[in-house]
């Protein structure tokens, strides 16, 4: 049986498969990646301005939507397998553009 902390974690995050982050369901997602995965961000509520994705990368490559603008202008490279990577996506208020600003904490 799961302890209280594990039960709380389970309700706060949503496991995803196939790369689809359904933003109408949660703001924190987790996935174990075992092959090439193209992420999509779907069903964004109007008030959804920030969400996070925790990836346990066992193998494969990650592909991101074209409307993600990354720190430094380049999507994450050199992510190590066997590590956990945290990605954060924020909607910019100042531009009004249909884009996400992406940042990440790699290789935990």
Per-residue model confidence as pLDDT tens digits over 55-107: 999 999 999 999 999 988 999 988 999 999 999 999 988 776 789 999 999 99
Contact 70, 59 (CB under 8 A): no
pLDDT at 12 (0 to 100): 76
pTM listed for this prediction: 0.85
Per-residue model confidence as pLDDT tens digits over 3-45: 555 444 445 789 998 999 999 999 999 999 999 999 999 999 9
> Would 53 be classed as within a structural domain?
yes
Q: How many domains does the chain have?
A: 1
- Domain span at residue 95 reads 18-65+84-108
In this structure, what are the phi and psi dihedrals at residue 74, rounded to the nearest 5 degrees?
-130, 135
> Would 55 be classed as within a structural domain?
yes
> Would 22 be classed as within a structural domain?
yes
Q: What is the mean pLDDT of the chain?
A: 88
pLDDT at 96 (0 to 100): 67
């Amino acid at each position: 049986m799961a302890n209280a902390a594990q039960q709380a974690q389970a309700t706060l995050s949503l496991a995803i498969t196939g790369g689809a982050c359904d933003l109408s369901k949660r703001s924190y997602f987790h996935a174990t990646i075992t092959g090439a995965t193209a992420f999509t961000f779907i069903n964004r509520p109007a008030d959804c301005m920030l969400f996070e994705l925790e990836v346990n990368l066992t193998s494969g490559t990650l592909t991101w939507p074209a409307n993600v603008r990354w720190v430094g202008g380049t999507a994450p490279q050199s992510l190590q397998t066997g590590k956990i990577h945290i990605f954060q996506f924020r909607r910019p208020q100042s531009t009004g553009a249909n884009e996400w600003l992406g940042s990440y904490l790699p290789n935990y």
